[in-house]
Structure 1
Amino acid sequence: MGKKRVMVPAADVDLSAVKYQNEAIQDSACWSSDHITFEEGEQDNSVHKCGTDVVSMNALTESETGVVVVDEDGKPEDRVELAMKCLPPYNAASSWNEDLASSFRYWKIRDYAHAYRSKFVTPSMVAEQIIPVIEEFNKKDPPMPLLISFDAEEVRKQAAASTKRFEEGSPISILDGIFIAIKDDIDLYPHPSKGATTWMHEVRPVEEDAISVSRLRSCGVIFVGKANMHEFGMGTTGNNPNYGTTRNPHAVDRYTGGSSSGPAAIVASGLCSAALGTDGGGSIRIPSSLCGVVGLKTTFGRTNITGSLYDFGTVEVIGPIASSVEDVMLVYAAILGSRPEERISLNPSPPCLPNLSSRDGADALGSLRLGKYTAWFNDVQSTNVSDTCEDMLNLLSRTHGCEMVEIVIPELQEMRTAHLVSIGSEFINSLIPEIEDGKGVRLNHDSRTNVRLFRSFRASDYIAAQCLRSTSIAGSSSPSWHAYKPSRKETWATSFVNILWRRLMYHHMEIFKKVDVIVTPTTGMTAPEIPSSALSYGETDLQTTGYLMRFIIAANLLGFPAISIPVGYDKQGLPIGLQLIGRPWGEATLLRLASAVEELYAKPKKRPASFYDVLKTK
């Protein structure tokens, strides 16, 4: 008989006995044209199965303070207007008198809006600054495109319409005339959605905007095109042999991180105020950290993923990337809103925004408890990463009185396995028809390696992963969390699974009884170098992947909101990000704390090596 692995009930886990295990991964490979073959049906059933006993779940119902409730059924432009009122007053003098040459900063959305309304520039003038740069990146050798799909005349047409609205004194919202890029796995009509493959658009035509895109369009946003990404999002570096690999604006010999490589890079380069990315395994937070910008992964179900290549799964969300917390907040306000079916299944609390202009909001910072698992926090490639994040946490405590609480998170390795099985199984299930139709051989070698791994997972692996997880992902306020009673129609197997899928959520919700936010570095390393041999065929570097994904899994597997904020640089001048992980539906708390972190970071930001000041007013 085979060995059977038994786990004690989640409530009986002795946290004092939990020992953190450093994750050491050595395998890596840069692919050559003859490195791997693609064969169907190979099995490698090495995933460990885990069981657990019945656990009970007490829902956390603590409400956020100093917030404004947002009507997710209202017009996006009205939500953006409400978000504007939550921001501190805009000081045009301080924004425009600062010398960017001596003190670098990014232009914010409100800077663009002020410039347009003051007739310093027009959206059409800004478009003419952006277009030649995008075209230049596409012509580089080797190619390093920020965008996969780009139509200069379409950009000019949108900019002209926005310019006309400003001339008539009738801009739609603060986002009118703001340039935004859309990741290539989110539908932006009439651009194709390729997912950075060479063929996805052949089997899945785009007939309309994704819901999140349509909400931005109704606010007057100008879309520059479809941003580059790791093929199908199945990688953490952003490497893409199909179209060229996007380079990190801070060092062109470094990766941006993935899979939302293009969105993060185009924001960090100054060409766009914001971008939309997707996050199923850190794909917003990893590139945001490596490129020195802000990336928000919302609670699962808080934003509508309809119109994405991944609207079938249980880990992926659409979220904003921008150079500042306030710009992330404005874009988030425009795109938020759950799907009807998720309101039923997840029972989300109403979306809220932090009132950053009120004293109540400032006072709320002092009551926050920040949870830190020190052994995990320090498991980084360079202590420069953990030390920089630690310095910011100490500054938060000294300045605002935030309480640091030592926590223990058990079963991290099991969580990594459950996430891999969950995202891999859901991904491969959506692609089986195309793979069996012969499209699999047209994937990059690293994607094909992942496909072979994902196809080795069995139904029992997927069920075991869900046993460790939860049914309603982030539905802490859903009645399903209080008690489970199997119906007569359920088989013993269905009943077993429905009872058992609360384990990892149980551990984390117990932690959230003690703390408001879990804090970690966003990534365990700064931007890795791009091997020249990887540009043509891609690479699989599991050690790099392990460092980049070290801290991001819980937010995807369990659906929690999380945000990455830049807090400094390593000795090579590469950005370092701090991650904040919140309770389900707690985006307002994360945005408030992220804003405080941003304000406390007093050192001047470094101008990226590839930066373009497209808001030229002289």
Structure 2
Amino acid sequence: MPARRSTAQWAAQLAAGVVDAADAIDQTLAAVDACDDRAIFTLTTPERARTAARASLSRQRGRCPLGWLDGVPVAWKDLFDLSGHPTTAGSRVLADAPPATADAAIVTRLEAAGMVSVGRVNMTEFAFSGLGLNPHYGTPVNPHGQRRVPGGSSSGSGVAVARGLVPVSIGTDTSGSVRIPAAFNGVVGFKTSGGRWPMHGAYPLSHTLDTLGILCLAVLDAILVDAAARRLAAPDLRRGRIRDLRLIAPTNVVLDDCEPAVTANFEAALGRLENAGARIERRIIPALDEVLALNARYGPIVNAEAYALHKERVDGEAAAQMDRRVASRIRLAAATSLTAYIAIMEARRRLVAETAAMLEGGWLVAYPTVAHVAPSIDALEADDDLFVRINMKTLRNTLLGNFLDWCGVSIPNGFDAEGMPTGFLLSGGPGRDDHLLAMALAAESIIRDDVGQSPHDRS
């Protein structure tokens, strides 16, 4: 496997001429082709990548790059349209779909900034699970443990970045699908708040909750890619100051039933931030309990909207070609009434407004990204009841942010005794992405401390 280089390192080496863009993309494609985990990529686009890399090299030699990211490789979750290829969304049902006639809007934007698309990476079928299992195209294996899940639904994105195959991968996040694989694989995951990036050309799961995001190696990488995604020549935010960092650490819901290492790593990082000058307030956020109560009473929004999208499939012959766990979860929403759907949507509008007001003045929320480390693939494949329980626990902390339209950054903050990573989630209110990223940039080294490597990798 290649040595891991962050997006910022790629950009600096390409700009300085230390790295030849064409050679680098050849090496990237060769590493993908030689990788022992064949479930990470579902599609490679070598001709497209090499053409783009040669154009980038020409621009670099002419000292007229398109931007900071010119020549940097990127992989796409398997639900983004790439012109000339069917968009399969991790499903065999769509394998024979007509090829996309245009790229997804976000693909167009990042390629306009010079990024080089090397292909698409695996995902949970139709993006409907937080664990990352896929019986059709295989399950990418977490590189930190023996047969551990990658996290989902952006499973291939998390593993591809963690293994150094690409420095950045673009995913979607409806209930945690960027932040969960980031936490499980020990990388950074940034989920945008709604409307920050264009969604056109991304296969949907929930029109209400779907957002886009980045899996990468460092917060600075997320900032650089986010700027390009918004058509900026350079980031328009400045690093925050730790003494200006104000955090609410909820004492309800998010710490319930956490594994000891998850709790210990979170508390240690919180303590380091406080010692560095951050202001920490521990208190109940009633909205978190209310979100879970609303989901229990009316059924989750994502389930209802997924059922509306996939009703003919899950109630028809196509269900036999689907992951049984995905099909059965979608069918659960068949009983959701229009009255229940309207009620939870109205409650969401109220709670989004209430929590946005609570975070006025620059407050962020901090808690563990996931309550546990990545579990065993084999155990979950063997027991559907266990799968359902673990999947819901995996999604619990992150889905709160989607319901409340928070932006979020998951930052690695340690390992358990077996070398499995844990994540520290910083979240901000709707549209507060710039503030979140600025503060995450300031806090990242403190949150990480000296946990850049798994105990298995340390000498």
Normalised by the size of structure 2, how large is the TM-score? 0.90
Conserved? CA contact 1:417–1:465, under 8 Å: no
Alignment correspondent of 1:395: 272
Q: How many angstroms apart in 2 are the aligned matches of 1:144 and 1:418? A: 41
Deviation of the 1:439 alpha carbon: 2.2
Partner SS for 2:50: helix
Deviation of the 1:408 alpha carbon: 3.0
Q: How many angstroms apart in 2 are the aligned matches of 1:412 and 1:421? A: 9
Alignment correspondent of 1:292: 186
Conserved? CA contact 1:380–1:386, under 8 Å: no
Q: How many angstroms apart in 2 are the aligned matches of 1:370 and 1:235? A: 29
Instruction: Verify: 1:517 aligned to 2:340, yes or no.
Output: no
Instruction: Verify: 1:578 aligned to 2:424, yes or no.
Output: yes
Alignment correspondent of 1:556: 402
Instruction: Verify: 1:161 aligned to 2:55, yes or no.
Output: yes
Deviation of the 1:164 alpha carbon: 2.6
Partner SS for 2:409: strand
How much is the aligned-residue C-alpha RMSD, in angstroms?
2.7
Deviations 1:518-556 (A, max 9, x none): 111000001111117829x98861221132112112221
Superposed, 1:99-248 pairs within 5 Å as 106-137=4-35, 140=36, 144-203=38-97, 205-248=99-142
Partner SS for 1:247: coil
What amino acid sits opposite 2:398 in the alignment? I
Alignment correspondent of 2:343: 464
1:353–1:286: structure 2 CA closer, same or farther, 3 Å change rule?
farther
Superposed, 1:90-105 pairs within 5 Å as none
Deviation of the 1:241 alpha carbon: 1.0
1:437–1:401: structure 2 CA closer, same or farther, 3 Å change rule?
closer
Unpaired runs of at least 5, structure 1: 1-103, 338-351, 471-501, 611-618
Unpaired runs of at least 5, structure 2: none
Deviation of the 1:197 alpha carbon: 0.3
Q: How many angstroms apart in 2 are the aligned matches of 1:159 and 1:183? A: 21
What amino acid sits opposite 2:339 in the alignment? S
Q: How many angstroms apart in 2 are the aligned matches of 1:248 and 1:558? A: 29
1:321–1:420: structure 2 CA closer, same or farther, 3 Å change rule?
farther
Q: How many angstroms apart in 2 are the aligned matches of 1:310 and 1:240? A: 18
1:533–1:300: structure 2 CA closer, same or farther, 3 Å change rule?
closer
Instruction: Verify: 1:430 aligned to 2:309, yes or no.
Output: yes
What amino acid sits opposite 1:129 in the alignment? Q
Deviation of the 1:269 alpha carbon: 0.9
What amino acid sits opposite 1:508 in the alignment? T
Deviation of the 1:121 alpha carbon: 2.5
Q: How many angstroms apart in 2 are the aligned matches of 1:575 and 1:302? A: 29
Alignment correspondent of 1:98: none
Deviation of the 1:113 alpha carbon: 2.6
Conserved? CA contact 2:42–2:121, under 8 Å: yes
What amino acid sits opposite 1:371 in the alignment? I
Deviation of the 1:118 alpha carbon: 3.3
Q: How many angstroms apart in 2 are the aligned matches of 1:353 and 1:402? A: 25
Which residue of 446, 449, 453 maps to 1:606?
Answer: 453
Alignment correspondent of 2:373: 526
Alignment correspondent of 1:345: none
1:223–1:445: structure 2 CA closer, same or farther, 3 Å change rule?
same
Q: How many angstroms apart in 1 are the aligned matches of 2:88 and 2:277? A: 46
Partner SS for 1:250: coil
Conserved? CA contact 2:252–2:284, under 8 Å: no
Alignment correspondent of 2:216: 322
Normalised by the size of structure 1, how large is the TM-score? 0.68
The structure number with the bigger radius of gyration is 1
Q: How many angstroms apart in 2 are the aligned matches of 1:312 and 1:290? A: 23
Which residue of 287, 299, 308 maps to 2:202?
Answer: 308
Partner SS for 2:256: coil
Q: How many angstroms apart in 1 are the aligned matches of 2:32 and 2:7? A: 20
Bigger fraction of residues in helix: 2
Deviation of the 1:205 alpha carbon: 3.7
What amino acid sits opposite 1:158 in the alignment? A
Q: How many angstroms apart in 1 are the aligned matches of 2:299 and 2:230? A: 27
Alignment correspondent of 2:161: 267
What amino acid sits opposite 2:26 in the alignment? E
Which residue of 327, 341, 344 maps to 1:448?
Answer: 327
Instruction: Verify: 1:565 aligned to 2:411, yes or no.
Output: yes
Alignment correspondent of 2:260: 383
Alignment correspondent of 2:443: 597
Q: Which has the higher contact order (CA 8 A, sep 6+)?
A: 1
What amino acid sits opposite 2:175 in the alignment? G
What amino acid sits opposite 2:93 in the alignment? W
What amino acid sits opposite 1:322 in the alignment? C
Conserved? CA contact 1:193–1:206, under 8 Å: yes
Deviation of the 1:336 alpha carbon: 3.1
Which residue of 242, 246, 257 maps to 1:369?
Answer: 246
Q: How many angstroms apart in 2 are the aligned matches of 1:303 and 1:420? A: 28
1:248–1:427: structure 2 CA closer, same or farther, 3 Å change rule?
same
Deviation of the 1:281 alpha carbon: 0.8
1:556–1:367: structure 2 CA closer, same or farther, 3 Å change rule?
same
Conserved? CA contact 1:187–1:206, under 8 Å: yes
Q: How many angstroms apart in 1 are the aligned matches of 2:342 and 2:320? A: 29
Q: How many angstroms apart in 1 are the aligned matches of 2:205 and 2:175? A: 15
Partner SS for 1:541: helix
Identity of matched residues, %: 28
Alignment correspondent of 2:237: 354
Between stretches 400-409 and 279-288, larger displacement belongs to 400-409
Deviation of the 1:443 alpha carbon: 0.7
Deviations 1:381-406 (A, max 9, x none): 41210121111112111112323242
What amino acid sits opposite 2:68 in the alignment? I
Q: How many angstroms apart in 2 are the aligned matches of 1:112 and 1:515? A: 32
Deviation of the 1:515 alpha carbon: 7.1
Conserved? CA contact 2:7–2:167, under 8 Å: yes
1:385–1:286: structure 2 CA closer, same or farther, 3 Å change rule?
same
Deviation of the 1:432 alpha carbon: 3.0
Deviations 1:477-518 (A, max 9, x none): xxxxxxxxxxxxxxxxxxxxxxxxx2x335524532587111
